[in-house]
Copies of this chain bind each other. A is one copy, B any other.
Amino acid sequence: MSLPPVVVIGAGLVGASIGCALTAAGYPVHLRDAKISHARVAASLGAGTVDPPVTADVDLVVAAVPPVALPDVIAHALHSYPQATVTDVGSVKAAVLDTLWRRELDLGRYVGSHPMAGSQYSGPMTARADLFVDRSWVITPHRRSRPESVARVSELVRTCHAREIVMDVEDHDAAVARVSHLPHLMSVLMAGHLNQVPENHLLLAGQGLRDVTRIAGSDPGLWVQIVAANSAAVLPELRSIQARLAEVIMAIESRSAADTLREQLQRGVEGTRRIPGKHGTAPVAYSQVVIEIPDTPGALGRLFADVGKAGINVEDISIEHDQARQVGYLSLAVTPEQEPELITTMTDRGWTVV
């Protein structure tokens, strides 16, 4: 039995990658783009065909166009493909839905969604079927969404091997304000500040500055649409940062910086530990394996040789001393998965694991 055709409107990175994933799963995919050449690039990469579908057969339309174009494209798709569930991949949901409500459309077949993948390069050239594998993909049903349409979008998420998260639109928009739009604006503020920095000072820039400012290099035309569309959710986050920043500045001005700084820096460390791992796993908390070592030069060399032979990747190290017993305690930080192997290996080689 052949699978029903899908229409992907917008052959940028996200649209073309969805096309690749659906094509790989056996769906006939029909690509459309305001620039036919973009659709052709995507087609040449295996994302589908540029031939038009039989409209009555289409059972899913994916709108993967810039935020400002979404309401028109969604409304048009609902009209043009009367049997199809229509979804979009926009990064802000409430503003689009509000616009659609105001047009008094029957939105039963519309279910918004948002795959958490993509990059600053927005063209189809880097499209690939596995772009969404193990990534979060939010589905945002509204009060009139039909259950079968929600199920159809769920199936899309599964076909792309992404992880489905169901949220209402307001919750989604608050979440992306916090984990995406605010970090973007922080990166932009920092990068924008570099325009005031003399060139010879920039020679001292290291990887840290590059990391903090990387996303600020993204397309301003797209981001002004995103942030403006979600400004209501972004505003309280910015005000919260503003309050913390004022605290830091006041602490430095009053020369009582150390305690406030320490508290903020500690909060920062705790915040980084809350971010889930790359594939939605728990944040990496390294396991500490503590090994007793005689306090002699040769001992450490032998120990590291044994760790090295075991092929274990040591992330950090610290040493404590027991002056009375003339031994040391070497603490090795390794990923939790490597912990049992390290303990076994070192015990087998005659070391005492504490």
Is B180's CB under 8 angstroms from A224's CB? no
Which of B36, B50, B182, B248 contacts A193 (CB under 8 A)? B182
Nearest CB of chain B from residue A111's CB, rounded to whole Å: 18
Q: A101 on the interface (CB 8 Å rule)?
A: no
Q: A41 on the interface (CB 8 Å rule)?
A: yes
Binds B, one of A22-30, A57-65, A197-205, A343-351: A197-205
Is B249's CB under 8 angstroms from A235's CB? yes
Q: Whole-angstrom distance between the alpha carbons of A82 and B127 in the complex?
A: 64
Q: Whole-angstrom distance between the alpha carbons of A123 and B117 in the complex?
A: 35
Copies of this chain held together in the complex: 2
Nearest CB of chain B from residue A192's CB, rounded to whole Å: 4
Q: A52 on the interface (CB 8 Å rule)?
A: no
Is B193's CB under 8 angstroms from A271's CB? yes
Q: Whole-angstrom distance between the alpha carbons of A204 and B113 in the complex?
A: 12
Task: Please indicate the chain B residues that have their CB under 8 angstroms from the CB of A203 in the complex.
Answer: 136, 165, 276, 280
- From A121, which residue of chain B is reached at the shortest CB distance? B316
Task: Please indicate the chain B residues that have their CB under 8 angstroms from the CB of A258 in the complex.
Answer: 224, 228
Is A319's CB under 8 angstroms from B35's CB? yes
Q: A328 on the interface (CB 8 Å rule)?
A: yes
A273-298 at interface with B (beta carbon < 8 Å): 273-276, 280, 295, 297
Task: Please indicate the chain B residues that have their CB under 8 angstroms from the CB of A212 in the complex.
Answer: 183, 186-187, 211-212, 215
A-side binding surface: helix, strand, loop or mixed?
Answer: helix
Is A193's CB under 8 angstroms from B240's CB? yes
A120-173 at interface with B (beta carbon < 8 Å): 121, 123-125, 136, 138, 165, 167, 171-172
A206-258 at interface with B (beta carbon < 8 Å): 206, 208-218, 220-221, 223-224, 227-228, 231, 234-235, 237-242, 244-246, 248-249, 252-253, 255, 257-258
Q: A261 on the interface (CB 8 Å rule)?
A: yes
Q: Whole-angstrom distance between the alpha carbons of A66 and B213 in the complex?
A: 27
Which of B216, B241, B280 contacts A245 (CB under 8 A)? B241
Contact with B along A311-338 (1 / 0, CB 8 A): 0001111110100000010100000000
Most chain-B Cβ atoms within 10 A of its Cβ — which of A41, A188, A198, A316?
Answer: A188
Task: Please indicate the chain B residues that have their CB under 8 angstroms from the CB of A304 in the complex.
Answer: 41, 44-45
Is A175's CB under 8 angstroms from B200's CB? yes
Q: Whole-angstrom distance between the alpha carbons of A52 and B138 in the complex?
A: 62
Instruction: Name the 7 nearest CB pairs between A and B, nearest first.
Output: A188-B268, A192-B267, A191-B271, A220-B265, A194-B271, A175-B201, A216-B268
Given A175-B200, A178-B197, A188-B267, 12 other A-B contacts at CB below 8 A?
A35-B319, A121-B316, A125-B316, A165-B203, A186-B190, A190-B268, A191-B267, A194-B275, A220-B265, A224-B262, A231-B257, A238-B252
> Chain A residues in contact with chain B, CB under 8 A?
35-38, 40-41, 43-45, 50, 116-117, 121, 123-125, 136, 138, 165, 167, 171-172, 174-176, 178-180, 182-206, 208-218, 220-221, 223-224, 227-228, 231, 234-235, 237-242, 244-246, 248-249, 252-253, 255, 257-258, 261-262, 264-276, 280, 295, 297, 300-301, 304, 314-319, 321, 328, 330
